[in-house]
């Protein structure tokens, strides 16, 4: 099975900061990677698919990059509404999710 | 708009089975695979398997082989996931997820989740 390792587990940043979350796959997944945002009590919401494609309706401050085994999600200018947990998800070989990164606003 | 509406919360005893429904609307149900994912409190999501509503074909994660069954009723655009021999570790929120595929695939729609609590 492909393992997904996300870092950091938690980060605290100020409004307007640039924030980066990393996800590493245990083997190459090409660019079959998605990023989700999840707020308490709700289902995950798709932000990015195929590593770098912004899903419809998602603010342009979110971006994704990477291929192979290393991927990043960047929030260009952190907003209060971005307080949430973020998950990466590989769908190259079956599905695996990362353990999540909790983003807090200082 | 695309919607996946799941059945309500369930409380089960160890050893019992649970069957969750996921009713699709806003698109042609048979056009896209449905996956099932669960999430225990404080954990990342865990994939359980997929089903093609068109053919009924399924594929299950090895961890759940023998305990999970995914079916569908195309007349009502409803997918079902049944998990048997429940144990306390199966306590989680269960989601159905649509995998949209055109020139590229992505998972754009999730059900609202169904909490399953397993306790004696």
CB A86 within 8 Å of CB A21: yes
In angstroms and rounded to an integer, the radius of gyration of the C-alpha atoms of chain A is 13
CB B3 within 8 Å of CB B96: no
CB B19 within 8 Å of CB B80: yes
Interchain pair A97, B61: CB under 8 A: no
Interchain pair A95, B47: CB under 8 A: yes
CB B34 within 8 Å of CB B79: yes
Main-chain phi, psi angles of A82, to 5 degrees:
-85, -5
Instruction: Please name the residues in contact with A13: beta carbons below 8 A apart, sequence gap of 6 or more.
Output: A19, A78, A103, A104, A105, A106
Instruction: Please name which of B46, B34, B30 lies closest in space to residue B90, comparing C-alpha atoms.
Output: B46
Mutate to test the interface with B, among A30, A52, A87, A95 (most CBs of B within 10 A): A95
Interchain pair B112, A87: CB under 8 A: no
CB A69 within 8 Å of CB A27: yes
Mutate to test the interface with B, among A6, A44, A57 (most CBs of B within 10 A): A44
**Nearest residue of chain A to residue B99 (CA atoms):** A91
Looking at residues B17-45, what average pLDDT do you find? 97
CB-nearest to A98 from B44, B62, B108 is B44
Q: Name the minimum distance, in Å, from the CA of B102 to any CA of chain A.
A: 13
**Interatomic CA distance for residues A74 and A79, integer angstroms:** 13
pLDDT in tens, B61-114: 999 999 999 999 999 999 999 999 999 999 999 999 999 998 888 999 999 999
pLDDT in tens, B35-71: 999 999 999 999 999 999 999 999 999 999 999 999 9
Judged by DSSP in three states, B64 sits in helix
Looking at residues A55-79, what average pLDDT do you find? 97
pLDDT of residue B103: 84
pLDDT of residue B102: 87
């Amino acid at each position: 099975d492909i393992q997904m390792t996300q870092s950091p587990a938690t980060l605290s940043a100020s409004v307007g900061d640039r924030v980066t979350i990393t996800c590493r796959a245990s083997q190459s997944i090409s660019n079959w990677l998605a990023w989700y945002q999840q707020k308490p009590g709700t289902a995950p919401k798709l932000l990015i698919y195929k590593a770098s494609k912004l899903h419809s309706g998602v603010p342009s401050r979110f971006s994704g990059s990477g291929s192979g085994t290393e991927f990043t999600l960047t929030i260009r200018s952190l907003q209060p509404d971005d307080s949430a947990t973020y998950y990466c998800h590989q769908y190259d070989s079956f599905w695996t999710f990362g353990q999540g990164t909790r983003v807090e606003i200082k | 708009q695309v919607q996946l509406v799941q059945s309500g919360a369930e409380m089960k005893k160890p050893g019992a089975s649970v069957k969750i429904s996921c009713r699709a609307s806003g698109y042609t149900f048979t056009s896209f695979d449905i996956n099932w994912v669960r999430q225990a409190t404080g954990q990342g999501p865990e994939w359980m398997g997929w089903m093609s509503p068109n053919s009924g074909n399924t594929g299950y994660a090895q961890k759940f082989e023998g305990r999970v069954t995914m079916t569908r009723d195309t007349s009502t655009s409803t997918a079902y996931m049944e998990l048997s021999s429940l144990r306390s570790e199966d306590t989680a929120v269960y989601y159905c997820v649509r995998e949209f595929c055109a020139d590229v695939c992505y998972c754009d729609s999730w059900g609202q989740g169904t909490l399953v609590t397993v306790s004696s």
